Amino acid sequence: MNNLTLRQLRYFDAVATHAHFGRAADACAVSQPALSVQIKDLEESFGAPLLERTTRSVRLTTFGEDVLARVRQILRDVDELADMARAAHSGLAGRLRLGVIPTIAPYLLPTLLRDIKTAFPDMSLMVRETMTANLISELHAGKIDTAIVALPVSEPAFAEVPLWTEDFVLVRPANEASAPVPAPEALERERLLLLEEGHCFRDQALSFCSLPTARPHEGLDGSSLSTLVQMVGAGLGVTVIPEMAVPVDTPSAQVTVARFAGARPARTIGMIWRTSSPLGTQLEAFSDVVRASGQALRTS
């Protein structure tokens, strides 16, 4: 077998992830022909095909599936070697890959990015915004170093560090400002607008309102909190959003914000990372900056 290269392994991982040569090439910032050549060389080195190619799709062969598991472990190990080198320094330096869920990213990142630049001037931050399930998968695979999510995640392979807790608030059309705040279980009768399926915030809102997760679909789900608020302003229903979204998403809409009586719904924001990461100590320091940024948002 000829010598394999990390470049070939990363290209193979990208093709397996995207199931498409063009998208994999874009993700790797190379041309599609260059990527295809490297994959072909890799298959020749193994003496067996890794991929089944059709005019519309790419899928792994049985052998390719077995190889992919080993390749991803190798890539994780290589990335952790780089992390060990970074951990030898007293502070964070070099690249850090951070994941953030969409119901946090647009509200926290402007403050956090400024604070990180001050606290860790030698660090290059790469941000990935996607839903929790994707971040968990990418953290397991070593594609990101840490993530800011709603806790608990309850993954044995991850360390969890709580950062702060924030309340949820009710958003209604502006003409309902003087109306009594309904009980949570009554929100369904007022047409509760929610994020589309896959967002953990959707499940949290349903749980608070004692509604089934598999509720009937009315075609009025939103892809972002901002969209939900605008839908409320148009009179399509009511919604629930986290406090950090209020100063960003509500000023431009004809809505009113109210707090629930009694026990208030809330979520705990925290950071997670692999317990095997050599950067554990540095990520603890990073989490302190995230916590301070979140606190600044809540008091501003």
Q: Considering the chain, what is the average pLDDT of its residues?
A: 87
Structural domain contains residue 211: yes
User: Among 250-254, 280-284, 285-289, where is mean pLDDT lowest?
Assistant: 280-284
- Kindly state the tokens that stand for 252: 């431009």
pLDDT range class, residue 88, cuts 50, 70, 90: low
pLDDT range class, residue 296, cuts 50, 70, 90: confident
Same domain (yes/no): 145, 171: no
pLDDT at 185 over 80: no
pLDDT range class, residue 165, cuts 50, 70, 90: very high
pLDDT in tens, 39-59: 999 999 998 999 998 777 788
CATH of the domain at 117: 3.40.190.10
- Determine the average pLDDT of the residues in 242-254: 94
Give residue 1's pLDDT. 57
- Determine the average pLDDT of the residues in 164-179: 93
Give residue 186's pLDDT. 76
> For residues 67 and 1, which has the higher predicted lDDT (pLDDT)?
67
pLDDT in tens, 202-238: 887 777 666 655 455 555 678 899 999 999 999 998 9
Same domain (yes/no): 175, 255: yes
Split into its structural domains, the chain has a count of 3
Give residue 202's pLDDT. 82
pLDDT at 90 over 60: no
Provide the residue range defining the domain that includes 197.
166-265
- Determine the average pLDDT of the residues in 172-200: 83
Give residue 291's pLDDT. 96
Same domain (yes/no): 160, 271: yes
CATH of the domain at 15: 1.10.10.10
pLDDT at 93 over 80: no
Same domain (yes/no): 159, 172: no
- Determine the average pLDDT of the residues in 234-263: 92
Give residue 95's pLDDT. 83
Give residue 215's pLDDT. 52
Last residue of a domain, one of 25, 56, 75: 75
What phi, psi does 99 have (nearest 5°)?
Answer: -100, 145
pLDDT at 243 over 70: yes
Q: What is the pTM of this model?
A: 0.74
> For residues 241 and 208, which has the higher predicted lDDT (pLDDT)?
241
Last residue of a domain, one of 75, 99, 132: 75
- Determine the average pLDDT of the residues in 133-145: 90
Give residue 254's pLDDT. 95
> For residues 95 and 185, which has the higher predicted lDDT (pLDDT)?
95
pLDDT at 37 over 80: yes
Q: Determine the longest span between alpha carbons in the chain, in angstroms.
A: 76
> For residues 216 and 29, which has the higher predicted lDDT (pLDDT)?
29
Structural domain contains residue 112: yes
Structural domain contains residue 1: no
User: Among 57-71, 212-226, 236-250, where is mean pLDDT lowest?
Assistant: 212-226
- Determine the average pLDDT of the residues in 165-190: 86
